[in-house]
Amino acid sequence: MDEKKIMLSGIKPSGDLTLGSYLGAIRNWAARAEEFDCYYFMADMHAITVRQDPAALRRRTLAQLAQYIACGLDPEKNTLFIQSHVHQHAELGWVLNCYAMFGELSRMTQFKDKSQKNADNINGGLFTYPCLMAADILLYQPDFVPVGEDQKQHVELTRNIVQRFNGIYGEVFKMPEPYIPKVGARIMSLTNPAAKMSKSENDDTGRVTLMDAPEVIMKQFKRAVTDSDTERCVRYDPEHKPGVANLMTIYSVITGKSYAEIEREFDGLGYGKFKPAVGEVVIDLLRPIQEQTRRILEDKAYLESVYRAGAEKASRVAEKTLRKVYRKVGFVAAK
Query: Is 328 among the catalytic positions?
Result: no
Window 36-75: contact mask with ligand TYM (x via CB under 6 A): -------x--x-----------------------------
Q: Least Å distance between CB 137 and ligand TYM?
A: 5
Query: Is 182 among the catalytic positions?
Result: no
Window 71-110: contact mask with ligand TYM (x via CB under 6 A): ----------------------------------------
Q: Least Å distance between CB 332 and ligand TYM?
A: 29
Query: Does residue 21 touch ligand TYM according to CB under 6 A?
Result: yes
Identify which of 93, 83, 86 has the alpha carbon closest to the alpha carbon of residue 42.
83
CA distance 253 to 27: 10
Identify which of 287, 239, 257 has the alpha carbon closest to the alpha carbon of residue 183.
257
Figure out which of the listed residues 42, 137, 311, 322 binds ligand TYM, where binding follows CB under 6 A.
137
User: What b/e readout covers 142-154, taking b as 16+ CB neighbours within 10 angstroms?
Assistant: bbbbbbbebbebb
SS3 content of the chain, % helix, strand, coil (to 5): 55, 10, 35
Which residues, 6+ apart, have CB-to-CB distance to 299 below 8 Å? none
Query: Does residue 145 touch ligand TYM according to CB under 6 A?
Result: yes
Figure out which of the listed residues 96, 161, 185, 217 binds ligand TYM, where binding follows CB under 6 A.
185
Query: Does residue 16 touch ligand TYM according to CB under 6 A?
Result: no
Query: Does residue 150 touch ligand TYM according to CB under 6 A?
Result: yes
Query: Does residue 187 touch ligand TYM according to CB under 6 A?
Result: yes
The residues annotated with a catalytic role in the active site are 114, 196, 199
